[in-house]
Structure 1
Amino acid sequence: MTKVTKTVCVVGAGPSGLAAAKTLLHDAPNGTKYDVTIFDSQPRVGGLWPVNKTDEAGLVHPAMIANQSKHTMCFSDFAWSDNAPQIPRAFQVGGYLELYRQRYCQDATLRLGCRVKKADLISSSSNESGYSWHVETQSADNGVEEHRFDYLVIASGYFGEPAFPAFLKNTNYDIPVVHSSQYRDLEQLLGDPKGKSGKILVVGGQFSGVEIAGTIATHVSDAVNAPGPRRNDYIDEKSQRPKFSVHHLVQRPTWILPLMTASTPADSAPCFLPMDLNYQNLSNRPPGPLVNTQGHISVETARFVNSFFHGLLKTNQSEFSPRLTVQESDYDNQPFVGISDPYMDFVRSGTIGISRGKLQSLSGNIAYVGPSGEQIDDIAAVVLATGFKASTSLSFLPEEIQQKLSIAPNDLNNTVALAFHNTHHPDVPNLGFVGFYRSPYWGAIEMQARFVTALFSYGGPHSSSLPASIVNSLKNDKSIERTISLRTDPRASQFPMGDYAWLSQEFGIALDIDQVSRLGKMPILPPKNKEMNVLTAARYPGKKLNEVRRMENEKNLNRTEEVVTAGITKGRFVARAVFRSLLGEWKLDRTVVSQRPEQPSGRFVGTATFYLRNGTSHGREEEFANIEKEGGDHGFEYLYVENGEFVDEVKGLRFNATRRYIWRYNERKDKLSVWFVKTDEDRTADYLFHDIDFVLPNEGASNDDGWKAKASHLCIEDLYDVQYRFSFDSVNLRDWKLGYSVSGPKKDYSIDGVYRR
């Protein structure tokens, strides 16, 4: 007998809603067919993620850099475009989702700019559960409409609305107070900066707080150091220093990781990979079935994980700021992590100041911090990185169902208590959830969508038709009780639902989806000397792949393995790691030895400072235009400023000396380059000095003294032979050396410089 097509309402057109719709349309088991309608209040798909550079209506700035690589922010059977960066910008993530929709969700009815107002459970003889959904929507074009569906999938996620401290709600302040999701740039935050100065206070020390503090500090640095006319509204005329700084208020010690971490942190010349690929190397987990590392964190687990992060970073962070130090006495407490490339060195340079405590009140331009009683004065604006409330995403449900779901509006981490890893509630069998998972792994979203689709297709969580694997998984499931207990657990983890690898394993068991093997041989890493085994969504492909989907899945697997192999064996991302760690001030000691009497020999002692700013087109206009045409990102660059005193050892003369360059990193070429600065515009790039080429050690040799690199530059007839050496303490440069040998008809000298923090 032909099965009747079932109707499904999907609320939300972000990653979760699109994954749910795609799975219902293409992966439903048991011969079930679905007619899917997606509703979203926004005028485009993507949810949090804007779909182009000018899309600023959502909760994420289009230019925001994601904190995961494209290998993680990707679905198992849809690969990113060939020229996509390893770490995408927000607008590129939205673009990926729009292409995913075009590929897999064309058969769904998409209702954008249409908000779900109410969803009521009503009796229905046509559905196995005995119920269907009466859904009321509202849009500008059609006003209020009524619909009826067999099933409802809520995919509107944890980011329902910005969460504000109660004492800051509905109050007028003398200075701007905004949520981090509303921040776009300095002008929008401060208005006209003329006559203003002070600290931009960022409140909140987890992911969004660290990210937004680093972003605002970057904007301040760019405003002061960009080429062109001086932006005097941002520079103090007397000191020539920035008029604005960032002050970050954090409550607890937090490990701050860059986007690229060291795969071999013990080496002074480590290999680098995107942080998530290193973190999801299953070879680092104990053998056998995986055990959940999230939720309640015991003292033993806390000490192990804190020690792991200390080993990964090779620092307790005290050299950046005493207030960022993770003391050994903190190791008993559950670890917290933030991710940002520039944050730590902005702290070291003083661009970001740190206070510990909780914001208790705000009066005028003074913030009062508890429990210490500290006052933070001279505040120009406040940016609240205080999270989001998920309860708004569920407010259209009847009160009776909200009670069944044990909704706790003020618990931002454990808002709703759902069964089997936040997918459903047994008392509401035709209601599913996708994306109620507070962690950035899209593979978990995909698994939730598959599980919800399977439940619907076999008649619900109480159906006698359910496969034995799902029955057994539901029988042993304690997700609801676990969520409720974590609400009052002082040792709850930063991401309480469960770690990604363990969740993938548990969903795979329930859905009878095996983890596929790697396609090729992977690099072996010390100290365990095991072959890398990196988990991504592509390791758990669906069961109903056609040839196109199978090829997309294989492309995902290949790309991840190629990147991992290139990072471990070919030095890929070393240039990026060096570039990230240059930010801020260095002590410079340089000697000059000349073979010609008319050219001085001597010693230069001073400082070299790298000022971060947005990438500029000067000297590379064609390349810039091509990136713009392809919808890419121009990245960042440094203005290098060197100041100090040179002592001529022969003549005994002393004089002040300065020089400037522009340092750039090209993501597509994975290449560092140094550019001359125009003589009449001291912040504008002129032409290329040299590209920096990193040297791989010969087979069997080591880079015990750091990564070596070389370059050359022909200046008319004089050849500059350039040698670099970069020595790391895990992700951070410890010191680096730069030497020149200059030879030709007019020059014959050598320069050796050492840079130390």
Structure 2
Amino acid sequence: MSFPKKVAIIGAGPSGLATAKTLLHNFPKGTFQPTIFEKKHRLGGLWAVDYPSDRDRANGHSHGRSRSHSQSHRDRPTRGYVDPNMRTNISRFSVAFSDLAWESVLGSNVPMFPRAWQVRRYLEEYARRYIPEGVVGLGRRVVKTARKRKGAGLGAQWEVHWIDEGEKGRSSARDHSDPEIKSESFDFLVVASGHFGTPHTPNIPGLDSVPSIVHSSELQSADDISCLLEKSPVKQGKVVIVGGSMSGIEAATSLALHLSSLNFEPGSTTQGGTGYEVWHLSTSPFWVLPTYLPHQYSDDPLNKGTMPLLPLDLFLYDLSRRPPGTVNLAYGPKSPEQVSLIYKSFKGMLGNDYSRIGGVNITDMEGNESTRAPWVAIADYYAEFVRSRAIRLEAGHARSITGFPSGCTIDIETPDGSKPLTDVAAVVMATGFSPSESLSFLGDDVLRVLEHSEKDHFLPLILDGFSSSHSDIPDLGFVGFYRGAFWGPAELQAQILAQRWSQTGSEEVPTPAENEVEKAKERETVRNFRNLYPTNLRGQFPLGDYVGLMESLARQLRRPRQPVSKNFPADAQPLGPVVPVRYHLENDHMAQEQADTTMEALRHTLTADSKRARMCTAAAIFRALHGQWRFTRERQGLETSGIATFHPRYPSSPGYEREYLCTEIEDGAETRLVYRLSEDTSELAKDAQVLIWSVNQASPNSASGLLSQMQFETSAEVTVLGDYRVQAFHLAASGKEHRYEFILDRVAIRSWSYTVTRPGSSKGQTQIETHTSYTRF
């Protein structure tokens, strides 16, 4: 009689749950017996956030709440590293597993970019469906693991030692003595604790003297920003974000949006944000991508001439964008020629206008292009805030801080020397996380084999198997332990580890010599990559080729990629985007219905004439309105001109995703309008995606009467000049037709117009009442 192979899994986030599900359902019953150890008292890992209150859910997010509707940061209990209402920065198709459809969690109204609390609900449903009660041990903090050999050729066992903490995070011991440490032996150990161990703050002289400083992970809501500014002894000046990573761009955007919202708050005439400036200090060149990108369907004859706007991951992860030949998973620095091609690719993707503001630190003072490979960040408002100087950029890194409590100076080391940044009121450290705490339970002997570097936050370990294993410790696995989009790779990594371990008996099975050679070569490549100096040559992601990683893992499993379209024969299929559901296990009948539901939703999104495509187009257009425009207006034979400025602010009414306060200065007179983008799951979005309101004169900046609505055409039309055209319309009850036309250069609006026509004197005739043309200021 064979006994189940016992597997200890450290972490109940997406990676740990996917591993447990794989062990329990992809093999005959009794093959594996997994146990998950999770130190928190809820599962979800990074997504183990609080559920928002009913009021918060109605408002869509916490940013617009008044202080009376939420606790301040000072009064809250311990919380996670992300705001519960934060949107994911890649779509629902990449933030998901192949065997659970979002529709089974949220019903028919699934947002394209789910919120953090919705991801928590997804993971809880995943566990409910696939992981029996008793497998997940919450409140169990692993303090030590020890790998012990059974004997020559008999493999090893892992002793896992943990403290069973009570419901409130205290030891379950009845007295105040040292907590009881429990232990159990396992055949295999999986590290699924992720890279987000502890917020990292570098040792900058003078930093400890700054009273108004937070790590970017603490800056989650309007209340957090208000608390940061309240802590400052000076009530105006620069708010400086240190760090050019993803969190740096997000923090800078949040601060600029907050100040803009204070300046144009409904019901207020005071501009509460004018005393502050947002400064972003970073060293690396980076491109800031909006959440929707245009995708030319060059290989799809049914969609020729259209340019659907898709979530950025469905564009970036599309196999049709890759050059022919093998996938690129190579570590190492990029040559100047390769970097130049990367810059050219981004410019082609984003267009000429957006590239001037969306590419940061790309050129020096003389206009010479950087030879460093750029990083990538995702944010919708950032680039236009840069254009309007609501976010100011400084290239360099902080050497020291002096001058508090009366307002401080940051001494910056720049490529050309050093310079002071004066009048600093507050500092946000967007300096990432240290993953070492996620590895602290591994013994020194194991860490030595893995070549652990506590100081290296990007590559703390030297692993093979695409960052999932080390051939010298075959009973140890890592799932999702790499920087980048990890849901799909984590699922496939778990399946590869389980497949290998299912073939292992009580005796240790040696790795074939040829495989060992390849794994040694891979580790040497990773080692050389880590040892590159200066470290900025390493780039943003060690395994930056997500498509190549997914395809390589699927090949190891001999897993075919599912077709993306039902309208084409196998030999003429569009390649389409690489997402987890396309690699689902076909003989898993329990999950087949879930995979079918997700595939149908994916096909619907990729179809240029779908309602989902219309909402994607509306969101992309709404984002691109941000900033200033010149306009000319023809009305009853007269022509006037002026300047329109779209100021982002927090949505002031439920059901809306985003909002602008638009000021139009026309021949010296000012008109204010409120533009609102419906949430993609809101009932409002079924009739119109963008709504335009007049401003209530009795309550400054507050929306009053509904003036017009935009119902977008389903897809964009490519023009002769290579731009593309998007149209929207609204037929009012009065019989007047409102028509909008936007001409885009990739992600930026080049020009747009708004025309109102009314029925003419003869049947079927129309007459132009007003026509307004806008061009970028």
Shift, 1:522, TM fit: 7.0
| Pairing 1:641–2:663 present | yes
Q: CA 1:278/1:699 → structure 2, altered by over 3 Å: closer, same or farther?
A: closer
Distance 1:396 1:323, change over 3 A: closer
Q: Distance in 2 between matches of 1:7 and 1:397?
A: 18
Corresponding position of 2:118: 92
Mapping for residues 86-485 of structure 1, pairs under 5 Å: 86-124=112-150, 128-139=154-165, 140-142=170-172, 143-150=179-186, 151-167=188-204, 172-184=208-220, 185-191=224-230, 196-229=235-268, 235=272, 242-264=274-296, 270-292=307-329, 295-315=332-352, 319-320=356-357, 324-326=361-363, 329-330=368-369, 332-363=371-402, 364=404, 365-371=408-414, 372-459=417-504, 463-464=508-509, 475-477=517-519, 478-485=521-528
1:154, 1:709 → 2: CA distance?
A: 50
Please point out which of 83, 92, 102 is paired with 1:70.
Answer: 92
Deviation at 1:300, TM superposition (A): 3.6
Q: Distance in 2 between matches of 1:407 and 1:180?
A: 26
**Is residue 584 from structure 1 mapped to residue 627 from structure 2 by the alignment?**
yes
Tell me the residue number matched to 2:175. Answer: none
Equivalent position SS for 1:208: helix
1:486 Cα deviation from its structure 2 partner: 0.7
Could you tell me whether the CA contact under 8 Å between 2:400 and 2:410 is conserved in 1? yes
Q: How many Å separate the matches in 2 of 1:373 and 1:133?
A: 52
Cα distance in 2, alignment partners of residues 449 and 322 from structure 1: 37
Q: 1:199 to 1:409 in 2, by over 3 A?
A: same
**Structure 2 portions without partners, runs of 5+:** 54-76, 173-178, 299-303
Measured against aligned partners, the alpha-carbon deviations of 1:301-327 in whole angstroms (never above 9, x if no partner) come to: 322222111110123756438965557
**Residue equivalent to 1:560:** 602
Match of 2:461, SS? coil
Identity of aligned residues (%): 30
**2:692, 2:709 within 8 Å by CA — same for their partners in 1?**
yes
5+ long unaligned stretches in structure 1: 236-240, 524-528, 595-601, 618-623, 628-633, 646-654
Q: Is structure 2 residue 678 aligned with structure 1 residue 665?
A: yes
The more displaced of 8-17 and 583-592 is 583-592
What does residue 725 of structure 2 align with?
706
Return the offset for 1:80.
Answer: 0.8
Residues 1:754 and 2:773 aligned together: yes
- Please state how far the C-alpha of 1:560 moved relative to its aligned partner: 1.2
* Structure-2 residue corresponding to 1:489: 532
Amino acid corresponding to residue 330 of structure 1 in structure 2: E
Equivalents in 2 of 1:187, 1:443: separation in Å?
37
Of the structure 1 ranges 678-687 and 221-230, higher mean CA displacement relative to structure 2 is found in 221-230
Q: Distance in 2 between matches of 1:532 and 1:329?
A: 37
Note if contact 2:285-2:370 (Cα within 8 Å) is conserved in structure 1.
no
Counterparts of 1:699 and 1:181, CA distance in 2: 41
CA-to-aligned-CA distance 1:519-549 (integer Å, 9 cap, x gap): 51379xxxxx983422111111136502x30
Letter aligned with residue 259 of structure 1 = T
TM-score of the superposed pair, with normalisation by structure 2: 0.83
Cα pair 1:641 1:660 within 8 Å, conserved? yes
Q: Distance in 2 between matches of 1:376 and 1:80?
A: 47
Residue 207 and residue 41 in structure 1: after superposition, are their counterparts in 2 closer, same or farther (change >3 A)?
same
Question: Which of 486, 505, 515 is the matching residue for 2:551?
Answer: 505
Segment drifting more, 381-390 vs 502-511: 502-511
Provide the rounded CA distance (Å) in 2 between the counterparts of 1:684 and 1:24. Answer: 55
Aligned partner of 1:631 in structure 2 is none
Counterpart of 1:727 in 2: which secondary structure? Answer: strand
Equivalent position of 1:515 in the other structure? 561
| Cα separation, partners in 2 of 1:657 and 1:164, compared to 1, 3 Å | closer
Tell me the TM-score normalised to structure 1 length.
0.85
8 Å Cα contact 1:269/1:727 also seen in 2? no
With over 3 angstroms needed to count, the CA separation of the structure-2 counterparts of 1:265 and 1:593, relative to structure 1, is farther
User: Does structure 1 retain, via aligned residues, the 8 Å contact 2:488–2:579?
Assistant: yes
> Given residue 524 of structure 2, which amino acid in structure 1 is its aligned partner?
E
What does residue 7 of structure 1 align with? 6
Change (3 A) 1:683 1:287: same
1:61-87 CA distances to partner (integer Å, 9 max, x unpaired)? 222221100100111111112312101
SS for the counterpart of 1:164 is coil
**1:728 equivalent in alignment to 2:744:** yes
8 Å Cα contact 2:672-2:694 kept in structure 1: no
Q: Structure 2 vs 1, CA of residues 458 and 321 (structure 1 numbering), >3 Å: closer, same or farther?
A: closer
SS for the counterpart of 2:678 is: strand
- Opposite residue 409 of structure 1, the aligned amino acid is E
Paired residues for 1:586-735 under 5 Å:
586-593=629-636, 602-617=638-653, 624=654, 634-645=656-667, 656-668=669-681, 669=685, 671-695=689-713, 706-714=725-733, 719-735=735-751
Provide the secondary structure at the position in 2 that maps to 1:276. Answer: helix
For 2:152 and 2:309, locate their aligned partners in 1 and report how far apart those are by CA, in whole Å.
56
Q: Tell me the CA shift for residue 213 of structure 1.
A: 1.3
Does the 8 Å CA contact 2:662/2:674 hold for their aligned counterparts? yes
**305-314 vs 661-670, which deviates more?**
661-670
Secondary structure at the aligned position of 1:706 is classed as strand
Find the aligned partners of 1:133 and 1:167 in 2 and give their Cα distance: 40
- State how many pairs are aligned: 705
Q: Indicate the SS of the match to 1:443.
A: helix
Instruction: Measure the CA separation in 1 of the matches of 2:719 and 2:204.
Output: 61
Shift of 1:615: 2.1
Moved more, 127-136 or 440-449: 127-136
Deviation of 1:133 (Å): 1.8
SS at match of 1:374: strand
Instruction: Give the distance between the partners of 2:540 and 2:396, measured in 1 at CA.
Output: 18
Q: Is the 8 A contact 2:331 2:525 kept in 1?
A: no
